[in-house]
Chain A
Amino acid sequence: MKNEQGEPQFGLARVLKGSTGTPEVFTVSDGGPQSPDRRRFLLLGSGIPAAAALAAFWAERGVAADSVIRAHAGAITSLLASSDGTVLTSGSGTEDLKKWMLPDGSLVGPLGQPPLRSAGMWVLSPDGARLAHVLAPSRSSLERQSTLEIYFPGGLTGGEIPITEFSQPTAMAFAPDQKSLLITDGAEIIVAAVNPTGQPQLTRRFQAGPGITCLTVDRSIVIAGSRDGLIRTWNLSSGAVVGRFNTGGAITAMLLLVGQPTVATGHADGAINLLSLGDGTSVTVTKLNSPIRALVPGPGGDSLVSGCEDGTIRSISLLTGDSLSTRNLELADGAKLTMMAAIGGKNLIAVGTSTGQIVLLDLPELQTRTHLFDPLASDQSAKGVAFRILDPITGRTVTYTLPCGSQIPPGATCVCNCVPGAVSAPTYIQPPPPPPPREGMTLPCTAKPIPPGYTCTCNCIPGR
């Protein structure tokens, strides 16, 4: 063993040769065990212009460089609605958590100072008074220790505690008393007590899996759904097994029905079942064509809303099992629905997708109210229509955003103004069917009401 010859110098510095021409990025391929000459990494092709790498950046995150109105650059991984339905918090990948005002979905900004990161799993207590976060070690980390952190609304820090021998969380849930938090990595359930100052303390951990995908608590009973199709229940305080119920197929979503010993289960094969925790009876309510990604309560507690991976959203009556309404989000190629959240007291749900979209839908009609829009997360070509309308519930005038070409609700006012100082001339054309055909007309973009039934086609909202 001996010293090196001179200090290593790899800091960024000018390239003396080969620095002319177009900036390019090169593709790296892992040749794997069969690579030629056992050379594992191959630099392919002659490079692509670095300008085009931006599109690849978005594509790698499931985001096409298109005109989609986005809330985040990448897939939505967290949607947390406050209990009073006035604030929505969203997260994606390693981006900052973002805070949106409801019901209009206006962007307030990142949550917390410094901003809290989306990475990991987040859950909100039922009363909205605590945010719990489990940050797992990176996949390449040598450690197998996660961290449980508690925050208050607004991003203020409560306390944190390490969770040893614990990697990626697959589900989390607060108990109804708000004092206990359950976390699982699929195999083990960890119970943490959270005191009023936000300091968590681990109180119990027990083997519960394998393959737990969803978790909830009914009073003192822990309920977990798994990929093996089983619903298992335990006593929260003792960890003793209470019950074990077979629902038939891999469980991908679960909802505890209010006031009933019944859980709705969503399955990888698209089925939605109702399981009685009393007698173990499981009934299939409906069968959709794509894995169920989310189940949330509908208005009044007598319906639920399911979200399928392919973007199909269905409202189902719990009284009759009938479908009340169905909506397809018409996702872009390859895009998937990833998250849903019910917004308490507002008859609204928020739907997140793998392409960074968050859409607010009115219940029970499942009509789009608005798309949450962050220009910095959207492509330059992102365009939409912004319009102002009176919220009949609050009496406030709010501004909503829809994809370019969307129909504006009757009585809405276009507030397009794309280019500062320029004359904007949005064109309103007829939608099919009536009102009777007529030529398109243009109006100044100065808060003029749009005639009922007309569609705004102006490109109002520039990206960046």
Chain B
Amino acid sequence: MAGVSESRVSGRGCYAPETMLVGIDTWWYDVSSTRTLGGSCTQMPDMELIGNQHFVPKPVPGAVGAVKRANVSAELFTIPTDDGKFIVYAPLRRAAFVANGALVDFIVRLRETGIVDEVADPGGLVTDFLRNLEIVDGGEEPRPITEFSGDPEPTAVTLFLTTACNLRCTYCYAAAGDTPARFMSLDVAKRGIDFVAANARRKGLPEIEITYHGGGEPTVHWKVMTESLQYAREVASRLGLGVKAYSATNGVMNDSQICWIIQNLNGLSVSFDGLPSAHDKHRLTVLGQGSSAQVERSLRRFDEAGFPYGIRVTVTADQIASLSDSIRHICSNFNAQRVQVEPAYQLGRWDDAASSETEGFIAAFRAAVLVAAEYGRSLFYSAARVGALTNHFCGITQDSFALSPDGGVSACYEVFSGDNPLSASFFYGRPTGFAGYEFNLPVLNNLRRQAVQHRAFCSGCFAKWSCAGDCYHKSLTVNGSGEFAGSDRCHITRELTKDQILAKIAGSGGLFWHEGALGQSGVSAGKEVLS
């Protein structure tokens, strides 16, 4: 080091701009050190104060050895690996690599000073590597934020047709069948359809979407299911719109229902737990018998017709050990377009059961991913979705429009009735007059504020732009009405997200992953039609 010895600056060193012989730990002057030096540091005129802590060299244009400036332009996270390394992850650049501590610190220094450490990067190639990943000098990062305000104008409606169900699943979050059955009238469905069709027409969109969902089994209320879709088609046709229709189902249905679904719906999410032994232990008929044979029969019919459907596997604590076998059973027998695996929700009939949101679930999921890969399939867990950048976990932050059997407007698939304990948080509208709805904007705006950019707890989490804050309903179940403070699901989400990042790196040649920032038009809306 030229000019000033390390000992004279209390171990912090002094920058010598003419030589650039500065070490990693010799860049910094803190204010107190330089004051004690008095006039002994001859380089002081060439320094400038950054913030209130550090002096850094001023750039000297054109001079040999002038400092190289670079700007860390990505929101970065470091995720420790088991063996002392770090996944450096830039979610909004869709970029990642695995680094040692020296590289992490190099980036930290670059971010703090805006100056390239030429000892660590004498040729500038490390900086160039980061530049090419848009981590350095990549310009402003587009943030994947969409926000809603004012009265909602949905163009998709979800109909909770009934709370009645032909199964008595042990882990049913809705406890369907234990409560008095409620059924939606056709008029309630028509009002919702009229509303979204008018919105689509006004917004110039080409189609509306109608989805049938629980608390109970939608196909149990068959008459209104079929007649409401017929009505939607008639209304849409008059307005020059198309209709897309989806449903969730337990898959227990007769031949004519299967035929109607194949002919009329665009997709289906079927709850099916894989191995018959696993499925039949928890997914029981009203008479207490297993339902796997009926569900498999439906799935085979869908496969024969080439009908697109997804399978949702619910994993209870006792079924964690057999998850791989269940996935193998599914992959080797059925052609589901997507297989979603979720731990059972400790709610409804499963309120007091053992949690499956455990390390065991993570290990079983990882093993099941390998099994699925043998069949060229992948598994999906709702909150781990690297690459799909969004500030919305689901529809509740983006004006999801779901109608309870009596016509109330809910934002959440898990709050399907006005007598639900959390209905005050999720029911934000009700029918008014002969048509349309009146909306409770304070409730709706509170839901909108659950988008991840408003969640202080999530701000330091690397998974935030893909998990997007996870399920608000589950958050309320844990915290009551308190501030979100994470849950056991967060750990699962982070571990599986970490896997996905590593898979991205491995699949991109092994050294780094870089797909580049998404334009706003490429941002996922976070909507999960099939879950």
Contact = CB atoms under 8 A, between A and B. Distances in A.
Interface of A: 1-4, 7-15, 17-30, 32-33, 35, 38, 40-41, 43-44, 47-48, 50-54, 56-57, 59-60, 73, 93-94, 117, 119, 135, 137-143, 147, 149, 160-162, 164-165, 202
B40 interface: no
Contacts of B510: 27-29, 44
A23 B369 contact: no
A59 B102 CA distance: 24
Nearest to B324: A38
List of 10 A-B pairs having minimum Cβ-Cβ separation, nearest first: A94-B516, A4-B486, A140-B387, A23-B103, A15-B101, A18-B101, A51-B125, A30-B506, A19-B101, A8-B461
Contacts of A21: 100, 102
Nearest to A160: B521
A140 B386 contact: yes
Which range contains the number of B residues in contact with the other chain? 35 or more
B528 A142 contact: yes
A15 B99 CA distance: 11
A119 B105 CA distance: 33
Contact of A94 (B111, B205, B487, B515): B515
Contacts, number: 238
A10 B460 contact: yes
B115 interface: no
A44 B81 CA distance: 13
Contacts of A53: 97, 126, 129, 511-512
A165 B242 CA distance: 13
A52 to B, nearest CB: 7
A237 B507 CA distance: 43
Contact of B388 (A44, A50, A141): A141
Contacts of B104: 12, 14-15, 19
A162 B521 CA distance: 10
B348 interface: no
A147 B126 contact: no
Contact of A73 (B81, B132, B357, B517): B132
Contacts of B206: 161-162, 164, 202
Interface string B471-508: 00010011100000111111100100001001101111
A23 B126 contact: yes
A60 B387 contact: no
Interface of B: 24, 76-79, 81, 83-86, 88, 94, 97-108, 111, 120-121, 123, 125-126, 128-129, 132-133, 205-207, 244, 266, 346, 355, 357, 366-367, 369-371, 373-374, 385-388, 456-462, 474, 477-479, 485-491, 494, 499, 502-503, 505-512, 514-519, 521-522, 524-528
A135 B519 contact: yes
A27 B506 CA distance: 8
A43 B347 CA distance: 40
Contacts of A142: 385, 388, 524, 526-528
Nearest to B466: A140
A50 B78 contact: no
A73 to B, nearest CB: 7
A3 B24 CA distance: 40
B76 A12 contact: yes
A24 B509 contact: no
A28 B100 contact: no
Contact of A29 (B103, B477, B506): B506
Contacts of A164: 206-207, 244
Nearest to B98: A26
Given A19-B105, A38-B367, A25 B98 contact: yes
Contacts of B524: 137, 141-143
A15 B103 CA distance: 9
A58 B293 CA distance: 53
B460 A15 contact: no
12 contacts: A11-B78, A15-B86, A15-B105, A26-B100, A33-B370, A33-B374, A41-B499, A51-B125, A54-B125, A59-B509, A140-B387, A141-B387
Contact of A40 (B100, B120, B355, B499): B499
A23 B78 contact: no
B386 A23 contact: no
B408 to A, nearest CB: 27
Contacts of A73: 132
Contacts of B509: 56, 59-60
A25 B126 CA distance: 10
B512 A52 contact: no
B477 A1 contact: yes
B370 A40 contact: yes
Contact of B123 (A11, A48, A51): A51
Given A23-B121, A43-B98, A1 B346 contact: yes
Nearest to A6: B486
Given A10-B461, A18-B84, A19-B105, 16 more contacts: A1-B355, A3-B479, A10-B79, A25-B511, A27-B510, A28-B502, A33-B371, A50-B126, A50-B129, A51-B129, A52-B125, A56-B512, A135-B522, A138-B522, A147-B522, A164-B207
Nearest to B125: A51
A4 B487 contact: yes
B385 A140 contact: yes
B100 A24 contact: yes
Given A12-B78, A30-B506, A24 B521 contact: no
A32 B98 contact: no
Contact of B99 (A8, A11, A23, A30): A23
Nearest to B108: A14
A3 B525 contact: no
Given A8-B490, A15-B105, A28-B502, A57 B521 contact: no
A3 B518 CA distance: 32
B102 A57 contact: no
A43 B83 contact: yes
Nearest to B105: A19
B387 A138 contact: yes
B478 A1 contact: yes
Contact of A38 (B76, B108, B370): B370
B370 A8 contact: no
Contacts of A141: 387-388, 522, 524
Which of A21, A33, A35, A57 is most buried by chain B, counting CB atoms within 10 A of its CB?
Answer: A57
A12 B111 contact: yes
B515 A57 contact: no
A32 B120 contact: no
Contacts of A140: 385-388
Scoring A9, A12, A135, A139 by chain B CB atoms within 10 A of each residue's CB, the highest score goes to A12
B381 to A, nearest CB: 12
Given A10-B461, A57-B133, A2 B488 contact: yes
Contacts of B522: 119, 135, 137-138, 141, 147
Contacts of A57: 129, 132-133, 511-512, 514
Contacts of B517: 94
**Which of A38, A142, A162 has most B Cβ within 10 Å?**
A142
A30 B525 CA distance: 30
Contacts of B107: 12
A4 B346 CA distance: 16
A412 B299 CA distance: 73
B289 to A, nearest CB: 30
Contacts of B477: 1
Contacts of A4: 485-488, 490-491
A2 B369 CA distance: 26
Contacts of B387: 138-141
Contacts of B489: 1
Contacts of A94: 515-517
A54 B386 contact: no
B370 A32 contact: yes
A147 B521 contact: yes
B478 A3 contact: yes
Given A1-B488, A2-B478, A7 B457 contact: yes
A54 to B, nearest CB: 4
A37 to B, nearest CB: 11
A8 B458 contact: yes
